[in-house]
Structure 1
Amino acid sequence: MGASRRAFLSQLGRKKGFQVEDSFSDCVTHVISENNSRDEVQQWLKSQHKDHMSVKLLDISWFTESMRAACPVEILDKHKLQDVQEQKEESVEFLIPSYACQRRTSLENHNASFTDALSLLAENAELNNEEGRAVAFRRAAAVLKAFPVKVTSTAQLRGLPCLGEHSQRVIKDIIENGVSSEAESTMHSERFKALKLLTGIFGVGAKTADRWFKEGIRSLTQLVNSGHELKRDQQAGLEHYYDLNQGKITGHDVDFLITHPDEGKEVGLMPKVVSWLTAQGFLLYQKTTRNSYLEKEDGPAQPSSNMDRFERCLSIFKLEKPEMKIDKKWRAVRVDLVVSPMSQFAFAVLGWTGSKLFERELRRWAGQVKSMSLSSHALYDNKQCKYLRATSEEEIFAHLGLEYIPPLERNA
């Protein structure tokens, strides 16, 4: 470990309340080392001519984890320095496929500190309309979500896909210092906090939030007092802001996919459903758009303009919460109602099930690997110049030459 790095980590430890000695002495209880074997450290301790038998010899990972916890964490086997032979035996490389749609990703995440930082940087890039950077961070985070063990060394990242230089710098920073300085700086920046708040309003996108930010708007109160004439969905989103954002990390709350077993009879279902919900007092807000999808014999239009054109109702539901003892016994919940013809239903289910990145990667795999065009409506084989029909998600995965991944493992 270099002198400047040791000085930085020592200062960090002292700020967290640890007693850090600059040289070895009888009061030292833990010796922290980086990129050294147990034999090497023991040889060094012997050269100090002091009793070292009771000293714990630990890897830098124990120190960084303790920094994150702001207290000494439990010493596990993985934290103890190993002999050279043990290090070689435990150096296992994990093969992670390049496309997220090839990987099973459950909600069990061994690397949340890394994925949280990368996801935050991705969100910041999205708020600044930097789609390329956002996707790069999302892909890097997805790889670490699927990694089967906790990352404690950059050596474990060797050979992994989708980890660009920027993402690797973020990961290295967290391994060495416990946090990403870039992510911390971003999270506490005035711009990020304001844009995150404003885009949390239903109906407000990044461009609108950016315009308001440039006008000096930083809070909901300032927005209300600004005199801006809000659209109907934005008015509803502002009115029910705290309900819609309470305890929610991303996305809205519920999607309903509606179909009819007889092709064509799904037409007219949406008005009936909306009318019934209105009569029951469920709807605080709703806006319905018609189905504009048209299947062309010579193949679909550009994927970006043809991804999802189902008849849809964007709504805010009023759901009772009888267990609440305060005056307000209900909460507002975002709900999307989507009507699909039976012939497209399997594609609709697949398109609405899984993380945004997983769906993006499915389409990327289809185009780049299989020369196909996939949307929430259909799958078209560009080589055979024909649509590939399917009545289940499993059939679609088979058409794409992919192992079927169930919905609970599409959390890329």
Structure 2
Amino acid sequence: MRGQFPRVFVLPTKLSPVELDRIEGSVAELTWDAAEAQVFVGKISRRERALFELRRLKVLTTETSQPMRDHRSGIPLVKGAKTSTRRNGTDGPHQYQDTDSAGHDEFQPLRPGHIQVVRLQWLEDSLDAGAVLSTSNYLLYEGIKVENDPQPALAPTQVSQASTDDIAHETSNRPPESSQYSAPSQRLRQGSRERRTSSGGRSIAPQRPVLVHETTSEHDLPLPPIPAFLHTTYSCQRPTPVTTPNAGFVEELKKVRELRLLEGDSIGVRAYSTSIATLAAYPHVLQSSFEVSRLPGCGLKIAELYQHWREHGSLAEAVEGSKNERLAVLKLFYDIWGVGDTTAREFYNKGWRDLDDIVEFNWGHLSRVQQIGVKFYDDFKLKIPRSEVEEIGSVILGHAQAIDGGFQMVIVGGYRRGKAQSGDVDVVLSHPDETKTLRFVEKIVRALEKSEHITHTLTLSVRNSERGQTALPWKGEGRHGSGFDTLDKALVVWKDPEHAKSPHRRVDIIITPWKTAGCAVLGWSGGTTFQRDLRRYCKAEKGLKFDSSGIRSRSDGSWMDVETDPELGPAPDMVTAEKRVFQALDLPYRPPEERCTG
């Protein structure tokens, strides 16, 4: 890629979560903070819409005096001009010159304080061309930032200048008031007032950003260079240890991220996850907000939060969230095994406020998994120390080898990443002889039920065995049975039969044929953001589809054997198989203790 993108802010209007995720993985210079953005891109085509989006983000500007011009023809790009058009999923015919990107000038840095709003096609064409193109042919609006609003709020006649269809689209796509969350654009990195919910509770929204207070001495501090590995957009390419020198700040950000999750703010969750992964990988103790702002994936918003945390030892949103009764109830429901954030909000909107309400009013409508989650709620909340994880793993392997001595096992999940305590126990079992893993999950569950270690079997899946453990081809996005982790597995409730007072534990037993053992171990070992970025990397950089049950080509859907060495044959053990997957993907091998992205 020739040149470097400016700070880019993506307007979420009319973009699906899949499109947002794709764009996020394409540009390292993406920012989640509108205040620091230089170029705003979106699926819009009108100057009025550009102004509407900026005002909604509270980015105050005055328009530059120069008219927008095609950089080659010099023709002013004015509304109503009779020019050629091209549609790309935007909200109307383009009122400006549009030509092929070949021959475009490269992007020239903007002057300080200047911002531009451009069509999303600029980003797409730049990526296709391998160079950051000039924005001339894509420009909708250019302005200069101002500190105070130079004019009063838009009068009704002024608002009507924005496309009626645009505003109707925005309104029609907002969730209903009872859903307790605002439109995506309202949730994105901007201040908004705390709002009342229909049930009388209150939801916490981010406070209006404030200026980062810095002293001259802060800029005099000798700052360490940003490690080269942090400049990648994929956390799977960098080491992220289990312990970070900035653990206190990271933990506060995780609290805020959880509040966003409970509110249904998926964009905010993704943004905070990206920042947390960067900070967790940063090997130096932070010294100033300026140091934070320069880190990829952080920017001014995270710098402001760091400044507040350094002064107060906590984050205001986390503190307010801990006092919010509605969020406390949502967290209670969310912590029920088998209940996600959407179901937690549904429970709350029905008027339920504790576990007794669920038992009294909805017990018969809960799934069996959710009923067990309620029944053993207190036990499942207890963390599992490493020693107990190892004991459970030893019992499972012992029973597996009693059936056939050739079975191998890797304890995955948080334990493998080095966490002192785990929420559940995940183990992957395999055997070099593929006939031994066929329907083996049923045998191991029966053996552990007979020994009274398994008290309840929540899920027992034999999808992989039912198709003869043959590799399932990938059929494209959105197709059921198209390659999502289809390994045989059992999700069970575990209890030590020799200790009557021992708590019930959640245990996942995954069975994989030997040919995909490396993918299974890799897919069940990384932190959430590591796994997300691994899938994004495979898609964007390799044209592959990765999941725990194998790697497939996106061009023809075929399964790819990346774990069998042409000369050495199959891997001798499951960890070696995992290393071969890294090698096949052109990724540096990261031991599991370096995949702790939070």
**TM norm. shorter chain > 0.5:** yes
SS at match of 2:582: helix
Amino acid paired to 1:241: Y
SS at match of 1:148: coil
- Corresponding residue number in structure 2 for 1:261: 432
SS at match of 1:309: coil
Q: Is the aligned partner of 1:311 residue 2:443?
A: no
SS at match of 2:460: strand
The 3 A distance-change label for structure 1 pair 300 and 385 is: closer
SS at match of 1:369: helix
Deviation at 1:367, TM superposition (A): 1.2
Amino acid paired to 1:35: T
Deviation at 1:304, TM superposition (A): 8.4
CA distance, structure 1, for counterparts of residue 543 and residue 341 of structure 2: 33
Matches within 5 A, 1:171-182: 171-182=306-317
Where structure 1 has 5 or more consecutive residues not aligned to the other structure, the ranges are 1-32, 38-58, 60-83, 323-327
SS at match of 1:256: strand
Deviation at 1:213, TM superposition (A): 0.8
Q: Is the aligned partner of 1:278 residue 2:410?
A: no
- Corresponding residue number in structure 2 for 1:231: 367
Deviation at 1:219, TM superposition (A): 1.9
SS at match of 1:335: strand
CA distance, structure 2, for counterparts of residue 167 and residue 157 of structure 1: 7
- Corresponding residue number in structure 2 for 1:67: none
Deviation at 1:215, TM superposition (A): 2.1
- Corresponding residue number in structure 2 for 1:389: 561
Deviation at 1:385, TM superposition (A): 7.2
Q: Over residues 219-266 of structure 1, what are the superposed CA-to-partner deviations in whole Å (9 max), with x where a residue is unaligned?
A: 223333335323222222112111110137997411121222112431
CA distance, structure 1, for counterparts of residue 363 and residue 268 of structure 2: 32
Deviation at 1:188, TM superposition (A): 2.4
Q: Over residues 38-63 of structure 1, what are the superposed CA-to-partner deviations in whole Å (9 max), with x where a residue is unaligned?
A: xxxxxxxxxxxxxxxxxxxxx8xxxx
- Corresponding residue number in structure 2 for 1:403: 588
- Corresponding residue number in structure 2 for 1:130: 265
8 Å CA contact retained: 2:293, 2:302: no
The 3 A distance-change label for structure 1 pair 268 and 290 is: closer
8 Å CA contact retained: 1:114, 1:141: no
The 3 A distance-change label for structure 1 pair 354 and 303 is: farther
Amino acid paired to 1:301: G
CA distance, structure 1, for counterparts of residue 497 and residue 484 of structure 2: 34
Where structure 2 has 5 or more consecutive residues not aligned to the other structure, the ranges are 1-212, 385-418, 564-576
SS at match of 1:357: helix
Q: Is the aligned partner of 1:331 residue 2:331?
A: no
Deviation at 1:404, TM superposition (A): 0.3
Amino acid paired to 1:339: I
The 3 A distance-change label for structure 1 pair 122 and 274 is: same
The 3 A distance-change label for structure 1 pair 207 and 386 is: closer
- Corresponding residue number in structure 1 for 2:526: 354
Matches within 5 A, 1:3-402: 35-37=215-217, 87=220, 90-95=222-227, 96=230, 97-163=232-298, 166-229=301-364, 230-247=366-383, 252-286=423-457, 287-291=459-463, 295=471, 299-302=474-477, 306-320=483-497, 322=499, 328-382=500-554, 387-391=559-563, 392-402=577-587
CA distance, structure 2, for counterparts of residue 386 and residue 232 of structure 1: 36
CA distance, structure 2, for counterparts of residue 349 and residue 396 of structure 1: 10
Question: How many pairs align?
Answer: 326
CA distance, structure 2, for counterparts of residue 34 and residue 310 of structure 1: 53
Deviates more, 1:390-399 or 1:373-382: 373-382
Amino acid paired to 1:236: I
8 Å CA contact retained: 1:300, 1:380: no
Amino acid paired to 1:182: E
8 Å CA contact retained: 2:439, 2:462: no
8 Å CA contact retained: 1:136, 1:164: no
8 Å CA contact retained: 1:291, 1:311: yes
Amino acid paired to 1:380: R
8 Å CA contact retained: 2:264, 2:341: yes
8 Å CA contact retained: 2:544, 2:553: yes
8 Å CA contact retained: 1:152, 1:175: no
CA distance, structure 1, for counterparts of residue 478 and residue 236 of structure 2: 18
8 Å CA contact retained: 1:372, 1:379: yes
Computed over aligned residues only, the root mean square deviation of the Cα atoms, in angstroms, reads: 2.7
8 Å CA contact retained: 1:139, 1:357: yes
Deviation at 1:358, TM superposition (A): 0.8
CA distance, structure 1, for counterparts of residue 487 and residue 265 of structure 2: 28
- Corresponding residue number in structure 2 for 1:325: none
Among all aligned residue pairs of Structure 1 and Structure 2, give the percentage whose two residues are the same amino acid. Answer: 27
SS at match of 2:590: coil
Query: TM-score, with normalisation over the residues of structure 1?
Result: 0.72
CA distance, structure 1, for counterparts of residue 295 and residue 558 of structure 2: 36
Amino acid paired to 1:308: D
Higher relative contact order (CA 8 A, sep 6+): 1
The 3 A distance-change label for structure 1 pair 385 and 223 is: closer
- Corresponding residue number in structure 2 for 1:16: none
